A = this chain, B = another copy of it.
Amino acid sequence: MEVPLAAASAAFLTGYAVRVLARDHLPRLGVDLCVGVILGAWAVFAADYAVRLRLSGLGPFRFLRTHLLDTVVLLLPLLRPVRMVALYDRVQRRRGNPRLGLYARVMVYSGLSVSLLGFTGALTVYHHEADAPGASILTFGDSVWWTCATLATVGYGDVTPVTPIGRLTAVGLMACGLALLGAVTGSFSSWLIQTFRREDDAPGDGGTEDGTRPPGDSPGA
């Protein structure tokens, strides 16, 4: 039941990406196909949402409150692929792979989410900016560069969105992405400090060499 949703997410993102990136080289039929894929994926999301609402036995408003993120994702389906990260986590677990440590999992999970959000944001901004008068984001490369500078809160300002939708996307990217990125860097910092602290407790000779191994490994590896 999760698999078709993830497939629809991937189809949605692929359709949108092809539509945006190949827009000058796409024949009329290709555009129609992309739009069809996008609408089809959206229909799958809406059906899933309706089924879950029915099954939950809650009123619409209570459901909306307890599943706030699901609702937002329904309205902004470009956020949907972020949910694929949860699926990836489950697949890893089914395969019996050893679970990563807490910080490593937060880093991987948030890092993947940030990457997907960033890619989606770069697509959206490029889509709305490329043809705008006075725009400085002219290529998809510019858009990706701008997205990275925004997510890292560096914000050079050499290229910036000028259209209302581009700026709205930018604000959303700042709000969502910064918190996730904060989780990544915060986890990394915590892990670094934790590694140093563990080394403090057991200052053997062999323990120091592997100060760079990821968390979750056994100390004697």
Contact = CB atoms under 8 A, between A and B. Distances in A.
Interface of A: 66-70, 83, 86, 89-90, 93, 102, 105-106, 109-110, 141, 145, 148-150, 152-158, 160, 164, 167, 170-171, 174-175, 178-180, 182-189, 192-193, 196-197, 200, 203, 208-209, 211-214, 217, 221
Contact of A148 (B148, B174, B184, B217): B174
Give the copy number: 4
A185 B182 contact: yes
A170 B1 CA distance: 41
Nearest to A208: B90
Contact of A193 (B93, B102, B158, B185): B102
Contacts of A69: 212-214
Contacts of A170: 148-149
Contacts of A184: 179
Nearest to A172: B148
Contacts of A197: 102
A171 B193 CA distance: 24
Given A83-B212, A90-B208, A106-B192, 18 more contacts: A66-B221, A68-B214, A69-B213, A86-B211, A102-B193, A105-B196, A110-B192, A148-B170, A148-B174, A149-B170, A149-B174, A152-B153, A152-B174, A152-B175, A153-B153, A154-B155, A179-B189, A180-B192
